[in-house]
Amino acid sequence: MTAQLGVAAAFELSVAELNEPEQTLATLLSLFAATPIPWPLVQTCLPDEGDEALEDWRDDGLIQNSLLQRVDEGWYQLHPLIQEFLRLRFAATEVAESLKQRYCEVMVTIAQSVPQRPTRDQIVDLTPLIPHLEEAAQTWQDNLNKNEALLRPFVAISRFYQGQGAYAAAEPWCQAALETTKKRFGESHPDVASSLNNLAGLYELQGRYGEAEPLYQEGLAMMKALLGELHPDVATSLNNLAGLYKLQGRYSEAEPLYEEALGLRKALLGESHPDVASSLNNLAGLYQSQGRYSEAEPLYQEALGLRKALLGESHPAVANSLNNLAELYRAQGRYSEAEPLYEEALGLRKALLGESHPDVANSLNNLALLYQSQGRYSEAEPLYEEALGLRKALLGESHPDVASSLNNLAALYQSQGRYSEAEPLYEEALGLSKVLLGESHPDVASSLNNLAELYRAQGRYSEAEPLYEEALGLMKALLGESHPDVANSLNNLALLYQSQGRYSEAEPLAVAALIISRNLLGEDHPDVGISLGNLASLYVAQRCYAEAEPLFLQALRIFMQTVGQDHPYTTETLNRLVRFITTVIEQRQVHRLSKNPIIQTLLRQIQDRG
């Protein structure tokens, strides 16, 4: 105690040497976090004081009296003990209150500048400022006295961590925002609803869908109660909940919410508004997920037209619309129509955002995927590599998007039979996803599935099986028993069993996958065609030819109808049919074939070839 009193007395003597302006500066500096302070930030907090005067007060007053230390060019710091002393010394003064107010205003301005998806360079710039934002959010929270100001620091800090894929670090700030707004405004307030939405959005990123849903629902109900049924923020909440349902494969629940959000935005904002374009885009994306391509296309085109008319030909949102329409065309096998749109989107993003931007990496990745779909592997590889390099440079080595790029490059290598190059990338992606997202996340399940697929392709069945089983278990636990990804996992495990001749174990899985796909996506979705083809091949392996043929024909009809005759799904199904008929001929079972015109035409062609 005596030593502490001695230190305080020494500090008091030093402060007594300061004149009034120097004491004001000391008071301001004590409000910052006990970390290095950038001098321009101090100047911003005292805009009415000249730069030279501030520097004189700093150098001749605080540094001269050993109260402040210069730690780097343009950076200064108070010792934590001095900071604590100064805060107590000037706590009750009027000038301290006005400085706290000014400090918080400056921090809110910084918070407003933090983008939703900060790049690595922005994160580097923000890193030394984060402790000072945290100080505003925690210590000087009562001085964030404007409604819109209270949430800003919390949201900015959360974005800072989310931008790095550090979701666990972001979570306490999202939770603190919710607790703080409730404490300030009560249980029911628009900022409370926004905080519920933000926390739900974070849980969604983490794959914690069961925790996200009640928060989205509570936020939506609160918005409706506070703002009325007809309000733009209600439309946003509807859209958020619909997006969660889409991720979970709950398409029938997502659709009316997307439609309601679109209707609301049209009624409130008019037919021509950027938010209407966003809603059109969201509904189109849902239709695409369901294989309703003919319904999705006009909505994507309308959204693109709206954005061009409202925002101009050169705008990031226009690039997004071009990319979405290209994705639809790629899914349909309309590669020649997709390619120029991908290229235009990439060119726009480079021109608007610069060569080094996450959206540029996304465009490179999408164009590479198109090339891979066409078997243009030598063109795809440098784009995948460039996208991976960009993501590492912009987002850091440990980020979910980096894991995604590793998976994509590995899949390309696998397509080329470059298994030894693919394996370490798949393993790295899996390890990254586990570290960043936790052991229980859909991306982890996808990575397990990818690695298992590689092992199956190599005939390493005993290594593939536990990974397939783990992926399937995760998918079911996270997404429910009925989800497209669960159907995909069932299909993959069935294919593994078929490869091993374990037909009795494969069949119920293949049937279950088909049932899930039909129930979720309807009779005419490409995923249903894939399941039908897989089940048909399983029947062929068991010499159940009568059961196999109608399934092949159903799959062919679906592919011809949805993606066209030139799509790989269609050509592969025709090849399977040819192999099937060839097998039937070899087994002297031609009489088992039906009189279907397609079957009979292929039969004649095979027989004519000898």
In the three-class reduction of DSSP (H, G, I as helix; E, B as strand; rest coil), residue 157 is classed as helix
Q: What is the pLDDT of residues 532-577, one digit of tens each?
A: 999 999 999 999 999 999 999 999 999 999 888 888 889 999 999 9
Q: What is the pLDDT of residues 185-204, one digit of tens each?
A: 999 999 999 999 999 999 99
Backbone region of residue 230 per phi and psi (left: phi > 0; alpha: psi in -120 to 50; beta: other values): beta
Q: Is it the case that residue 333 has pLDDT exceeding 90?
A: no
Residue partners of 193: CB distance under 8 A and separation at least 6 = 218, 219, 220, 222, 223, 226, 233, 237
The C-alpha atoms of residue 22 and residue 467 are separated, in whole angstroms, by 66
Percent of the chain with pLDDT over 90: 79
Q: Is it the case that residue 3 has pLDDT exceeding 80?
A: no
Q: Which residues of 198-227 are buried (b: 16+ CB within 10 A; e: fewer)?
A: bbbbbbbbbbbbeebbebbebbbebbbeee
Q: What is the pLDDT of residues 407-419, one digit of tens each?
A: 999 999 999 999 9
The C-alpha atoms of residue 150 and residue 446 are separated, in whole angstroms, by 39
What number is the average pLDDT over the span 593-606?
A: 93
Nearest in space to 337 (alpha carbons), one of 370, 384, 375: 370
* DSSP notation for 325-339: HHHHHHHTT-HHHHH
On whether the CB atoms of residues 414 and 372 are closer than 8 A, the answer is: no
In the three-class reduction of DSSP (H, G, I as helix; E, B as strand; rest coil), residue 352 is classed as helix
Four-CA torsion 447, 448, 449, 452, nearest 10 degrees: 120
What number is the average pLDDT over the span 42-69?
A: 93
The two structure tokens encoding residue 604: 């004649």
Give the side-chain half-sphere CA count within 13 A for 543. Answer: 6
Q: What is the pLDDT of residues 343-398, one digit of tens each?
A: 999 999 999 888 988 899 999 999 999 999 888 999 999 999 999 999 998 888 98
What ranges in 480-544 are assigned the alpha helix state H?
A: 484-499, 503-521, 526-541
The C-alpha atoms of residue 601 and residue 593 are separated, in whole angstroms, by 12
What are the contacts of 505-511 at 24+ separation with CB within 8 A?
A: 506/538, 507/535, 507/538, 510/534, 510/535, 510/538, 511/535
Apex 512 CA angle, 470 and 245, nearest 5: 75
Four-CA torsion 598, 602, 605, 610, nearest 10 degrees: -160
Q: Is it the case that residue 147 has pLDDT exceeding 70?
A: no
Confidence of residue 6 (pLDDT cuts 50, 70, 90): low
Q: Is it the case that residue 5 has pLDDT exceeding 80?
A: no
On whether the CB atoms of residues 425 and 409 are closer than 8 A, the answer is: yes
Apex 545 CA angle, 541 and 547, nearest 5: 100
Identity of residue 446? S
Q: What is the pLDDT of residues 74-104, one digit of tens each?
A: 999 999 999 999 999 888 788 999 999 999 9
pTM of the entire predicted model: 0.85
pLDDT at 138: 94
pLDDT at 271: 95
Residue indicated by tokens 């690595």: 120
More confident residue, 447 or 436: 447
The C-alpha atoms of residue 402 and residue 154 are separated, in whole angstroms, by 26
| β-strand partners of 75 | 38, 72
The C-alpha atoms of residue 306 and residue 299 are separated, in whole angstroms, by 10
Nearest in space to 260 (alpha carbons), one of 285, 274, 241: 241
Nearest in space to 142 (alpha carbons), one of 85, 96, 111: 96
On whether the CB atoms of residues 397 and 436 are closer than 8 A, the answer is: no
On whether the CB atoms of residues 286 and 310 are closer than 8 A, the answer is: no
Instruction: Using CB atoms within 10 Å of the CB of residue 69, give its burial: 0 to 12 exposed, 13 to 18 middle, 19+ buried.
Output: middle
Distances from the Cα of 271 to the Cα of 1, 49, 309, angstroms? 71, 50, 12
pLDDT at 14: 82
> In what order do the strands lie in the sheet containing 69-72?
37-38, 75-77, 69-72
In the three-class reduction of DSSP (H, G, I as helix; E, B as strand; rest coil), residue 242 is classed as helix
The C-alpha atoms of residue 488 and residue 510 are separated, in whole angstroms, by 10
Largest Cα–Cα distance in the chain? 109
The two structure tokens encoding residue 396: 């850091």
What number is the average pLDDT over the span 474-493?
A: 92
DSSP state of 75: E
What ranges in 248-333 are assigned the alpha helix state H?
A: 251-269, 274-289, 293-311, 316-331
- Give the β-pairing of 69-72 and 37-38: unpaired
On whether the CB atoms of residues 553 and 597 are closer than 8 A, the answer is: no
Residue indicated by tokens 């509807």: 238
Would you give the distance in Å from CA 197 to the centre of its chain?
A: 16
Tell me the domains of the chain and their CATH numbers: 2-92 (1.10.10.10), 355-438 (1.25.40.10)
The C-alpha atoms of residue 314 and residue 344 are separated, in whole angstroms, by 10
Residue partners of 231: CB distance under 8 A and separation at least 6 = 223, 264, 268
Q: Is it the case that residue 332 has pLDDT exceeding 90?
A: no
On whether the CB atoms of residues 510 and 490 are closer than 8 A, the answer is: yes
What number is the average pLDDT over the span 6-35?
A: 88
Backbone region of residue 544 per phi and psi (left: phi > 0; alpha: psi in -120 to 50; beta: other values): beta
Residue indicated by tokens 């062919």: 556
In the three-class reduction of DSSP (H, G, I as helix; E, B as strand; rest coil), residue 70 is classed as strand
The C-alpha atoms of residue 511 and residue 523 are separated, in whole angstroms, by 14
The C-alpha atoms of residue 384 and residue 409 are separated, in whole angstroms, by 6
The two structure tokens encoding residue 564: 């066209």
